[in-house]
A = this chain, B = another copy of it.
């Protein structure tokens, strides 16, 4: 990503080019040129089943539209049909390693369903509010995918009450808010088991904020694995911080302050794990010799850490896809569950080199 890079093929065809010589060519233009009525052009071009036209007329219309470079105007169409066929995806921090997959899944599903997906940056408070107002309320999008773990119940209720076309990603809320969640509990269970199986007994948990749903679910998974292994979670063994590098760094320092020190830590996020690894290193602790580590969520980056980090790969692309599908169902009024847990593909642990036997 570094280099403002990417490989596009944006060659635009001659017709598209002609299309936007001002002023844009309209349906009426095509109709006039083809010698038919506007409505006929509209129906033919959309393959409307009510299009009654001879093959000859159809051909002439299409040819004319093509020649003139007709491109339908989205605003006019939206106004007429009262929907925009575009969906917004609101993301707290667009550059989160994790979101690439979510976006991909959502975008795939969106285009399969005939929507265009736009993502909005909700990294700042004002920005997120703005986005909701400008996008949803003003009708720029038909619905919104909300990726966030820290919505308060109050907030989501309001949002839903006010729009009814929002699906929340990975936030589990009692009640009727449409949601698609990943099995954080199981994922974290898996990660912790990995540590247990390697022989660790003093396993710490580098958790996210205690008031964040996803964070709590991950801690739950950690605890379940511990309990199953007959291990007790003593005070201080789980520390709560944010889901970012700096917090991971601080959290690891806290963990390392314990006596006796944990021999392994399960981090609830990749970014926190990155910070944590740096902290360990700074304390002269070497992974995996002195300390083992797994992190929740996978990304290419994990491969290049020092050492390569064992992670739990969650089905994030599927999360995005299913969220989009659920939103679509709701928009067209199809029945369907208002809450689903993505379980296929199942979370898997990606073994790299950060897990070893306990020292000593």
**Interface residues in chain A, defined as those with a beta carbon under 8 Å from any beta carbon in chain B:** 1-12, 16-17, 19-20, 24, 71-76, 78-79, 84, 86, 88, 91-100, 102-104, 107, 111, 116-123, 125, 127-135, 137-140, 147-151, 154-156, 158-159, 161-164, 169-171, 208-209, 212, 214-215, 242-246, 249, 268-272, 274-275, 277-278, 281, 296-297, 300-301, 303-306, 308
Q: Pick the 5 closest A-B CB pairs, nearest first.
A: A6-B92, A1-B96, A2-B269, A95-B100, A118-B118
Given contacts A147-B4, A244-B1, A277-B304, contact A12 B269 (CB under 8 A): no
Q: Point out the residues of chain B lying under 8 angstroms from A243, CB to CB.
A: 1-3, 5
Given A19-B137, A79-B79, A271-B1; A6-B128 close (CB under 8 Å): yes
Q: Are A296 and B2 in contact (CB under 8 A)?
A: yes
Nearest CB on B from A164, distance (A) = 7
User: Do the beta carbons of B133 and A16 come within 8 Å of each other?
Assistant: yes
User: How far, in angstroms, from A212 to B277 measured CA to CA in the complex?
Assistant: 35
Whether A155 pairs with B9 at a CB distance below 8 angstroms is yes
Name the distance in Å between A32's Cβ and chain B's nearest Cβ.
20
Contacts of A71 in B (CB 8 A): 133, 137-138
Which residues in B have their C-beta under 8 angstroms from that of A5?
92, 148-150, 208-209, 212, 214, 242-243, 269
- Quick one: which of B118, B158, B270 contacts A120, CB cutoff 8 A? B118
Q: Which of A74, A154, A245 has the most chain B CB atoms closer than 10 A to its own CB?
A: A74
Cross-chain pairs A/B with CB under 8 angstroms, 18 sampled:
A1-B244, A1-B269, A2-B96, A2-B296, A3-B212, A3-B269, A5-B209, A6-B150, A8-B128, A11-B154, A11-B155, A12-B158, A20-B164, A71-B137, A104-B123, A111-B130, A116-B130, A118-B135
